A and B are shown apart, each in its own frame.
Chain A
Amino acid sequence: MFAGLLLAAIFGGLLWEASSFQYSSEFAPGPGFAPVWISAIGLILSLLIAGNAWRTASGQDHPIGDGTEPLDRAGLFRVGATLIGLVVMLIIAPRLGLMPSMLVFLLFLTLAVQRLPFLLGVGASVATVCFIDLVFVRLLGVPIPSGPLGF
């Protein structure tokens, strides 16, 4: 039900925004035509989903798996940490260079989040960055943001 209501809220917001677009032009539908209809139908369907969930069960959407499992806090924590790591990588990439920031992120991911054995984590991270540098930067010549160290 949570997911259905969230979707309904999103569609509702979009519908509100879309209603300010020009609905039609001289002969054909305007920029507002498609967004208004899509978000309106989306709103109805999401409410249906939420309603279904409310009617059938305790009001909880079943997370995937055997259906009754509660959310796993440790798991959510790992996912959250990874997402924060990714965002930090994105912020430091223009200054530090994309390759060094990615290496830092991968080390964080493998050692702190996944808790792989130290050598395995370092090995996987370094191998990944080397592979990317070889294929994308050297072979394909992709211009990536480079840092003060020149890579």
Chain B
Amino acid sequence: MRFRALAPAFIATAIMLAPLATALAQSSTDIPNLPPSSWKPERPIEFVVQAGAGGGSDLFARIMADLMTKEGLVNVPIKVVNKPGGSGAVAYAYVNARRGDPHVIATATSSYLTTPIQGHSPSSYKDFTNVAVLCVEDYVAVVRSESPYKTLKDLVEAARQKPNSIRIGGTSVGSSDSILENRLEKAAGIKLNYIVVQSGGEANAALLGGSVDLAGPNPSEAAPLIAAGRLRPIAMFSPERLENWPNVPTAREQGFDVTLEQHRGVIVTGGITEQQSLYWQNVMAKLFQSDGFKKYMSDNGLRPLLRIGKDAEKYVAEQHQYYAEILTELGIAKKQ
């Protein structure tokens, strides 16, 4: 039985940091006007997921596959295929081997960018057709409810008094958690003690059991433990307060300019025709507007953010640039 491949139950392992510029340039939910496509799939669709069954990306793919069929957006069968392993490297290598076949699509989240930057994957985002970005997930700083720290300020103050005294739990270096830690240390001028755990579940257990003092999960992941009074949210790493969490101040409000979010999108193999790409752009735009997808986003605490076609390519390229900088700073980017 293998824990490592299936562990990302909450799939909090990968991230995206959207530069504010993009967010301001374009409203997050505008539906672009797309011409219809002359191409239609001729064979069943293979929808590749870069993680095991039961995790966040798997859920994302299965809900989309279900909706595409139910809403009549795609008129051939869609088969979800899990290819876990290597933080996405295995799945994207598999997709890239089918280059030019428009019947192979895949989910993409930030590991899609961070794994190649670290030199662990033979294929980069430039090898694929980035047809759509659909939503983003936020991050929240949480402590145990018995913790003396009521705000991020309290915690930063304590860390300043005694460097390395605050233990923060997170997944491996290069993950969202590690970037969050790095950004927070920089913004506040402190030194935290980073304890690497294997999964979001392990981070929650370590937090509840007192092995670590702080963690940075997605709000949806922490919500049940917060509602039960076991964890306390002390800062949201979003640009503004979230609609569903009006009482949790942002880190920025507390004087620490740290924002972090992870996108979820869909890619098709590279080397496909303009019309084939347009087909998938149309499908994704219509999917985004469906009630089923809206319900999925609100149930799972996802913030809608639509980027289609050229906008998606641009968004992904910007994220890549941003990541390359941070990971180089962390010393884990592969030297070009």
Q: Which A residues are within 8 Å of any B CB, using their own CB?
A: 27, 143
Q: Which B residues are within 8 Å of any A CB, using their own CB?
A: 46, 79, 81, 193
Report the minimum CB–CB distance from B71 to chain A (whole Å): 22
* 4 chain-A/chain-B pairs, Cβ below 8 angstroms: A27-B193, A143-B46, A143-B79, A143-B81
> Total A-B pairs in contact (CB under 8 Å)?
4
A residues less than 8 Å from B79 (CB atoms) = 143
Report the minimum CB–CB distance from A132 to chain B (whole Å): 18
A60 to B193, CA, bound (A): 54
Q: Which residue of A lies closest to B48 (CB)?
A: A143
A27 to B46, CA, bound (A): 46
Report the minimum CB–CB distance from B56 to chain A (whole Å): 21
Q: Which residue of B lies closest to A143 (CB)?
A: B81
Report the minimum CB–CB distance from A94 to chain B (whole Å): 9
B residues less than 8 Å from A27 (CB atoms) = 193
A143 to B81, CA, bound (A): 7
A residues less than 8 Å from B193 (CB atoms) = 27
A residues less than 8 Å from B81 (CB atoms) = 143
A143 to B79, CA, bound (A): 8
A151 to B109, CA, bound (A): 32
A143 to B193, CA, bound (A): 43
A143 to B91, CA, bound (A): 14
Q: Which residue of A lies closest to B196 (CB)?
A: A28
Report the minimum CB–CB distance from A55 to chain B (whole Å): 42
Report the minimum CB–CB distance from B197 to chain A (whole Å): 14
Q: Which residue of A lies closest to B83 (CB)?
A: A143
Report the minimum CB–CB distance from A116 to chain B (whole Å): 35
* 4 tightest A-B CB contacts, nearest first: A143-B81, A143-B79, A143-B46, A27-B193
